[in-house]
Amino acid sequence: IATFHDYKIDSPHLLGLYISKGFLYYTINNVDMALYWYNQAKDKYLAEDEKSLQYGMLLSNLAMCQMVKENYPLAKQLSDEAYEICTQFYGDNSNNANDRLLILNNLATIYTKLKEFSKGKELYKRVIEEATSQQNTGTKALALINLSEIYLLNENDLPKAEEYLREAMKMEAASY
């Protein structure tokens, strides 16, 4: 019986398998195996010198894995590169930019984990603003929840935290 390792490395289907395996392992919390498969895909992209939108999303996935492993400097580096690539494809404020907004939200989370709260707040507010203009309630609600956490846990500003959390809850309730 042949495995997918037996196929030629240049197959685009193989690249998809690598990414799918990485995602599968990430969803079952096996981050080491997710990193292995995502890095296999990254190596293939780099071998082909391809900086496509899919490569940017792959970097974002790698960044999330590094965040789980609490390797925040590497997660930030990967997220910065992913954001730059997605911005090249989508522009800075496009109606099709949900991937870019999610990367920006993740970058804000990384800054928060690095205890750079003002930078995290700034990025969350930017996500909220752009998601509002794009009528993207899911991403906006996520950023509102994350922003409320900064106000609650790091600034002891319960009224402000509640304000953002209530707004997110209203949006979530309206979507059902």
Q: What integer pLDDT is reported at residue 121 of this predicted model?
A: 95
CA torsion sign for 173, 108, 135, 23 is negative
Q: Is the pLDDT of residue 18 over 50?
A: yes
Of 5 and 56, more confident = 56
Between CA 43 and CA 65 the distance in angstroms is 16
Highest mean pLDDT among 8-12, 49-53, 111-115: 111-115
Residue with the two structure tokens 């899911």: 138
Q: What integer pLDDT is reported at residue 167 of this predicted model?
A: 94
Of 122, 118, 102, 126, the C-alpha closest to 155 is 118
The pTM for the full model equals 0.76
* DSSP structure string for 85-103: HHHHHH-SS-TT-HHHHHH
With a pLDDT cut of 70, the percent of the chain lying above it is 88
Q: For 105-151, what is each residue's pLDDT tens digit?
A: 989 999 998 899 999 999 999 999 999 998 889 999 999 999 999 99
Q: For 52-85, what is each residue's pLDDT tens digit?
A: 788 888 999 999 999 999 999 999 999 999 888 8
Q: What integer pLDDT is reported at residue 7 of this predicted model?
A: 46
Give, rounded to a whole angstrom, the gap between the first and last alpha carbons of the chain.
47
Residue with the two structure tokens 């895909």: 41
**Residue 126 burial (CB count, 10 A):** 16
Cα–Cα distances in Å, from 23 out to 57, 71, 75, 166? 12, 19, 17, 32
Q: What integer pLDDT is reported at residue 1 of this predicted model?
A: 42
Of 49, 40, 6, the C-alpha closest to 20 is 40
At a CB cut-off of 8 Å and minimum separation 6, what does 129 contact? none
**In this structure, what DSSP letter does residue 152 have?**
I
Q: Is the pLDDT of residue 34 over 60?
A: yes
Mean pLDDT of the chain: 86
